[in-house]
């Protein structure tokens, strides 16, 4: 039986990424897959490139009418219209940690008989994710935190952020802003520095001359408190919320004596029961990247949940290269990656 992968358009604003490049689509087609790609007004890769690779082209947002056996592949959330979901969906569902929106999503799958194969839970036998945008999330998240700090030095709150053609363009923009500011560079503490996300954050800090203290499990194993967080200008959280994650920033941090003025919650899971940052409960946006949680002394949180889309070309190519070998085993019953993802869904659905 032919495997039919249907790449949907993203409905979220500012989401230019994709999880499949035309080169990857050609590999799937050569392996016997049928690949349909929806037109998109915002995807970074032109639809003509997919057509040239041999893909079938469908109209934007037509996936609800796709054949029942098609596997719908996207990245971010589906339109919040409450409709029942009958297909297998590959996406980031954010549905397994008690998030309110996640419960709604699972109810839609329950109603339609469909399945969520969550990209966050595609793991190898050791539990390590096989494909992630983490490096570019860390890179962009550190950049946005630095933009928030720069705005504070001007007596402002950060304005809108945008996508960049490349990482080099982002670095040039930041460097220009720092030079114009004329202030000493801030200090940063990165928790999760040994992971993909932390590596990206650390590389951005190094490129911008921001002195970064790098922590990982060894430094946080005692469970807190962590007064060192308050002693840096910027705190970058690069650890996903999960049971047992320590609290890095308690509610008391708002009024504590501190140097800290910007928190970049790059892991960005504020409505999870396990969030390690307790001073906020909502994500921020491209239009309003900073949430001011205290005025004197000032404290801003930035928590954008699609950060890699600030560099959509590089992040798409990186992620797609990681994921392609596993897409090639999508309907292989011996593929532990997809079997484990199915088990996560079955447990969540109860």
Residue 313's SS3 state is helix
Which member of 76, 254, 278, 294 is catalytic? 76
As given in the structure block, the two tokens for residue 242 are 């999960």
Sequence-distant contacts of 101-110: CB under 8 A, at least 24 apart: 101/77, 101/271, 104/80, 105/77, 105/78, 106/348, 106/349, 108/82, 108/83, 108/84, 109/85, 109/345, 109/349, 110/349
How many residues make up the chain in this entry? 350
> Among residues 205, 201, 140, 150, which one has the least CA distance to residue 176?
150
As given in the structure block, the two tokens for residue 325 are 């070998």
| Integer Cα distance of 32 and 3 in angstroms | 8
Which member of 4, 89, 94, 232 is catalytic? 94
Work out the burial of residue 244: count CB atoms within 10 Å of its CB; fewer than 13 is exposed, 13-18 middle, 19 or more buried: exposed
Contact 316, 50 (CB under 8 A): no
Could you confirm whether 326 is annotated as catalytic? no
Residues 145-162 as b or e (16 or more Cβ within 10 Å = b): bbbbbbbbeeeeebeebe
Q: In what order do the strands lie in the sheet with 262-265?
A: 211-215, 187-191, 234-237, 262-265, 299-302, 291-294
Residue 26 dihedral angles phi and psi, to the nearest 5°? -60, -35
Is the CA virtual torsion 82, 85, 89, 93 positive or negative?
positive
Could you confirm whether 76 is annotated as catalytic? yes
Contact 237, 191 (CB under 8 A): yes
The DSSP secondary-structure symbol of 77 reads P
The residues annotated as belonging to the active site are 76, 94
């Amino acid at each position: 039986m032919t495997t039919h992968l249907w790449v949907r358009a993203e409905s979220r604003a500012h989401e230019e990424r994709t999880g499949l490049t035309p080169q990857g689509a050609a590999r799937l087609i050569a392996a016997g897959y049928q690949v349909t790609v929806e037109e998109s007004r915002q995807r970074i890769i032109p639809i003509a490139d997919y057509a040239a690779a041999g893909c079938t082209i469908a109209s934007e947002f037509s996936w609800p009418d796709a054949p029942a056996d098609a596997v719908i592949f996207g990245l971010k959330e589906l339109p919040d219209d409450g409709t029942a979901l009958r297909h297998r969906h590959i996406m980031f569902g954010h549905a397994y940690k008690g998030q309110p929106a996640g419960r709604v999503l699972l109810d839609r799958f329950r109603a339609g008989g469909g399945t969520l194969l969550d990209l966050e839970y595609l793991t190898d036998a050791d539990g390590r994710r096989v494909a992630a945008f983490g490096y570019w999330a860390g890179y962009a998240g550190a950049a946005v935190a630095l933009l928030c700090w720069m705005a504070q030095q001007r007596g402002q709150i950060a304005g809108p952020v945008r996508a960049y053609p490349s990482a080099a363009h982002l670095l040039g923009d930041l460097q220009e802003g720092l030079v114009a500011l004329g202030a000493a560079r801030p200090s940063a503490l990165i928790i999760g520095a040994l992971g993909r996300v932390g590596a990206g954050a650390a590389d951005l800090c190094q490129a911008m001359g921001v002195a970064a203290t790098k922590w990982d499990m060894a430094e946080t194993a005692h469970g807190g408190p962590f007064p060192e967080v308050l002693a840096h200008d910027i705190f970058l959280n690069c650890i996903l919320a999960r049971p047992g994650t320590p609290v890095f920033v308690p509610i008391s941090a708002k009024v504590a004596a501190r140097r800290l003025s910007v928190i970049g919650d790059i892991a960005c899971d504020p409505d999870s029961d396990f969030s390690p940052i307790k001073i906020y409960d909502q994500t921020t946006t491209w239009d309003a990247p900073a949430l001011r949680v205290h005025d004197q002394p000032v404290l801003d949180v930035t928590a954008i949940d699609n950060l890699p889309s600030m560099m959509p070309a590089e992040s798409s190519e990186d992620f797609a290269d990681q994921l392609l070998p596993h897409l090639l085993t999508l309907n292989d019953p011996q593929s532990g990656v997809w079997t484990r993802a199915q088990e996560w869904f079955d447990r969540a659905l109860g």
